Amino acid sequence: MKKLVKITCYVLILLVLMPNTQVKGHEHSCSNLKVKLVPCLLHLKHCRHRCTAPSCAAECRTPPLSCCLNLGMIARKVNSDDDAKMMCSCIKEKAIEKDKLSGSDVSRLPKACLVDIRIPVIHAKTDCSRWKEKNIKRRP
């Protein structure tokens, strides 16, 4: 009986401590998305600033595996128009405005990674409030 009480207590503690990721439209925050984009953004910065030699061209053709895996996670979590707007705003804030990366370079990442998501080109004047989930997700 004591063992059952202990197990029940542990399970309850785990349930309380686990983050709730099942609420539609709130599956990931902007800060989490920015963290997931770090390998991709580092790749783009490296290739833009330091990768001009022919030997570097092959290295810059394909993003690192960590970038591609994270893009796949992001793609699976864009499930609503609010998610799409948040994704646009985060990319705009981090990649375009702060890191001064090219919106067209960012939009090419999913194709280079073979990830089933479309990221339209984002500019400093892009109105993220108009983004819709259907414009980002690719349907089979």
Q: Over the stretch 77-122, which tens digit does the pLDDT of each residue have?
A: 888 999 999 999 999 999 988 988 999 999 999 999 999 888 999 9
Q: Which are the contacts of 71, defined by CB distance < 8 A and separation ≥ 6?
A: 36, 40, 109, 110, 113, 115, 117
Q: Please state, in angstroms and rounded to a whole number, the distance separating the CA atoms of residues 128 and 126.
A: 6
**pLDDT score for 67:** 96
CATH number of 30-136: 1.10.110.10
Mean pLDDT of the chain: 80
Q: Please state, in angstroms and rounded to a whole number, the distance separating the CA atoms of residues 47 and 64.
A: 12
Task: For residue range 28-39, list pLDDT tens digits in order.
Answer: 588 999 999 999
Residue 53 neighbours by CB distance under 10 Å? 8
101 and 45 Cβ atoms separated by less than 8 Å: yes
